[in-house]
Amino acid sequence: MELPRVIQIGYGVIREVGSFLARFSPKRILIISGPIVWARVGEMVEDALKREEFRYRCIEVDHSTKKEVEDAVRVAKEFGADLIIGLGGGRAVDVAKLTSYYCGVIFVSLPTSASHDGIASPLASIKGGDRPYSYMTKPPTGVLADVNIIAEAPPKLLAAGCGDLIAKITAVRDWMLARDEKQEYFGKYAANLALLSAEIVLSEAKGIGSGSKEYVRDVVEALISAGVAAGIAGSSRPCSGAEHLFSHALDIIAPNVGLHGEKCGLGAVMMAKLHNLDWEKLRDALRDVKAPVTATELGLSADQIAKALVLAPDLRPERYTILHKIRLSYEQAKALAKDVGVI
Ligand code: ZN
């Protein structure tokens, strides 16, 4: 198991980032951030680093493709970075995670939104590589999550994070299916931890939808727990099943439409139906947190949804899920999406 060593969550904790980092005794820090986030919180972070007299450099990334990672690796090596910070939402954290993994240096995650479980997981979602799904790396050594900053991010990001959490319900079901039918290793503890993180969204959906800070904190903690579950399992199994493959298929069929967590949430509703679970409960929770529950709300057509359902199992033939067991035809895929009101 590889797990984060220090996790600090709280209101206004960004101000303590200097002392947080000091425990790792870094000599040269590389910060990887996005332009919007850097404009929002960069000064605060810089002030904290200057107080500790750290040597640092910052690079901004707009995307999370192989190119950004290659460029960041080059900068990190030239600069001699021994600690890399991912400061931002999904992209910057993903690029920083894979860069630090390639460079073999400490990675610290400073999330500024709660849109997916990559905050604390060992998985990095990088586009343009040899696979449409996530890369297995190492979890961050440190995670510092400032709830004040995360609460100020656009509400749709938090709703997407809830979609990524609800997806754990069908991901764990797929893992159980692989255990029962393919004798795959199944980690009960990791599975339960992932489920726990989904259950908090189901039980507190209305509160989360209100945007109140205490609920934002719950979502952040749940996303971190889900990431830790992947660290315990040593794979993405507890966090990612057929609903994630559906989301990855949409990345190919309709690039840059909808957020990862939004697509996974929608996928989870359909996979829940295939698993004979209470899919309406999942749909209602998504609605309560103000996440999209239909293709139209996500900006997708019925045709794109059906195509993604058909393509999804081919993206990872070795990862057995409900979509590998029930190979849907285009017509069957459309009927499924219709049954649960997605189209
Ligand atoms: Zn995910």
CA of 50 to the centre of ligand 1 (A): 35
Residues 95 and 224 in one domain: no
CA of 80 to the centre of ligand 1 (A): 32
> How much of the chain, in percent, has pLDDT values that exceed 90?
96
> How much of the chain, in percent, has pLDDT values that exceed 70?
100
Domain boundary among 151, 168, 203: 151
CA of 97 to the centre of ligand 1 (A): 15
Q: Is residue 113 part of a domain?
A: yes
Exposure string over 144-159, b if 16+ CB within 10 A, otherwise e: bbbbebbbebeebbbb
CA of 228 to the centre of ligand 1 (A): 13
CA of 212 to the centre of ligand 1 (A): 23
Residue 99: its pLDDT value, please?
Answer: 98
Residues 105 and 221 in one domain: no
Domain count across the chain: 2
Q: Is the pLDDT of residue 136 over 90?
A: yes
Q: Is residue 143 part of a domain?
A: yes
Residues 175 and 311 in one domain: yes
Q: Is residue 1 part of a domain?
A: no
Residues 47 and 88 in one domain: yes
CA of 47 to the centre of ligand 1 (A): 33
Residue 114: its pLDDT value, please?
Answer: 96
> How many angstroms separate the CA atoms of 323 and 80, rounded?
45
Closest CA relative to residue 111, chosen from 152, 71, 79: 152
Residues 304 and 316 in one domain: yes
Residues 147 and 172 in one domain: no
CA of 239 to the centre of ligand 1 (A): 7
Residue 216, helix vs strand vs coil: helix
- pLDDT tens for residues 275-326? 999 999 999 999 999 999 999 999 999 999 999 999 999 999 999 999 999 9
Residue 264 belongs to domain spanning? 155-339
CA of 63 to the centre of ligand 1 (A): 17
Domain boundary among 110, 135, 151: 151
CB 89 within 8 A of CB 153: yes
CA of 49 to the centre of ligand 1 (A): 31
Domain boundary among 106, 132, 151: 151
Tokens of 21: 């980092």
Residues 112 and 140 in one domain: yes
Residue 111, helix vs strand vs coil: strand
Residues 136 and 30 in one domain: yes
User: Dihedral angle at the C-alpha atoms of 138, 246, 180, 229, nearest 10 degrees?
Assistant: 30
Residue 128: its pLDDT value, please?
Answer: 86
- pLDDT tens for residues 154-207? 999 999 999 999 999 999 999 999 999 999 999 999 999 999 999 999 999 999
Residues 181 and 141 in one domain: no
Q: Is the pLDDT of residue 42 over 90?
A: yes
Residues 266 and 120 in one domain: no
Q: Which of 128-132, 162-166, 202-206, 230-234 has the lowest mean pLDDT?
A: 128-132
Q: Is the pLDDT of residue 113 over 90?
A: yes
CA of 123 to the centre of ligand 1 (A): 9
CA of 236 to the centre of ligand 1 (A): 9
Residue 90: its pLDDT value, please?
Answer: 87
Mean pLDDT of all residues in 50-78: 96
CA of 81 to the centre of ligand 1 (A): 29
Q: Is the pLDDT of residue 245 over 90?
A: yes
Q: Confidence band (pLDDT; 50, 70, 90) for 1? A: confident
Residue 130: its pLDDT value, please?
Answer: 78
Q: Is residue 233 part of a domain?
A: yes
CA of 125 to the centre of ligand 1 (A): 9
- What is the domain-level CATH number for residue 50? 3.40.50.1970
Q: Is residue 137 part of a domain?
A: yes
Q: Is residue 191 part of a domain?
A: yes
Q: Is the pLDDT of residue 211 over 90?
A: no
CA of 18 to the centre of ligand 1 (A): 30
* Residue 85 β-bridge partners: 31, 108
Q: Is the pLDDT of residue 147 over 90?
A: yes
CA of 66 to the centre of ligand 1 (A): 19
CA of 116 to the centre of ligand 1 (A): 6
Residue 24: its pLDDT value, please?
Answer: 97
Residue 129: its pLDDT value, please?
Answer: 80
> What's the predicted TM-score (pTM) here?
0.96
Residue 125: its pLDDT value, please?
Answer: 92
In this structure, the number of other CB atoms found within 10 A of the CB of residue 295 comes to 23
CA of 244 to the centre of ligand 1 (A): 6
Residues 129 and 187 in one domain: no
Residue 12: its pLDDT value, please?
Answer: 95
Q: Is residue 332 part of a domain?
A: yes
Tokens of 122: 């060992």
Q: Is the pLDDT of residue 339 over 90?
A: yes
Q: Is residue 185 part of a domain?
A: yes
Residues 35 and 106 in one domain: yes
Direct distance between the N- and C-terminal alpha carbons of the chain, in angstroms, rounded to an integer: 41
- What is the domain-level CATH number for residue 294? 1.20.1090.10
